[in-house]
Chains A and B, each alone.
Chain A
């Protein structure tokens, strides 16, 4: 049996790769996919912790996280498409209208 520490470490590595992706990329779609990567890493940690604690609650939480991710992607992609329609450019650094 694989120790739970291995799973949580893998989860930390995947989460960090997602964080770096959000920081270095300019395309909002890739940034979005990096956020999905982070959500997945957190889910993996939830399931691993749940198994170690001998409870199913972790898996139920992961189910809810998946639902929230689906809702977030639907709205987020709609926003990105709307921005692209209005500005014809989608680099995140160009979108500084609401920044002081």
Chain B
């Protein structure tokens, strides 16, 4: 059952990722990316990372993709990739290079890590939260500064006649 779920989800994830790259309309690409993010959330559930699955749907599929859709709507999607392509030959070279990269990473990743032997821990919000607020407290606080900086930066950039 778990294997069937994994393979179906993985297939949908790869297909939607290819759709994102292939489709000309960025709006379609954004919707494909939402499908992909949901698939990764399902995989998180299979990996017993319930908290991350919820955070994935809320932060990525919710907040970040809404931001993307707003930007696409503002920037008039229809005219984005028309006209002649000045770097067509270089772009064609990207496909064999991508295949070579996949081969390289795939060989490294195929075996996975050496098994640790420990039983898989529960990934609920309580366990992750305890780790987050004890061992990782300083990075967590730095995250707050990062988000504030991003907020101020986005406001300054978006202001008319900055």
Contact = CB atoms under 8 A, between A and B. Distances in A.
B59 A70 contact: yes
Given A37-B33, A59-B128, A12 B17 contact: no
A48 B46 CA distance: 10
6 smallest A-B Cβ distances: which pairs? A54-B118, A71-B150, A23-B94, A78-B157, A5-B112, A20-B98
A84 B75 contact: yes
Given A12-B105, A48-B112, A78-B154, 12 more contacts: A8-B112, A14-B14, A21-B20, A37-B20, A43-B52, A45-B109, A56-B131, A57-B131, A59-B51, A63-B52, A71-B149, A75-B154
Interface of A: 1-21, 23-27, 29-30, 32-34, 36-37, 40, 43-45, 47-57, 59-60, 62-64, 66-75, 77-82, 84, 90-91, 93
Q: Summarize A's interface: helix, strand, loop or mixed.
A: helix
Task: Please classify how large the interface on chain B is, using the bins under 10, 10 to 19, 20 to 34, 35 or more.
Answer: 35 or more
Contacts of A56: 121, 123, 127-128, 131
Contacts of A74: 67, 150-151, 153-154
A37 B81 CA distance: 20
A9 B52 contact: no
Contacts of B127: 56
A84 B17 CA distance: 26
Contacts of B95: 20, 24
A45 to B, nearest CB: 7
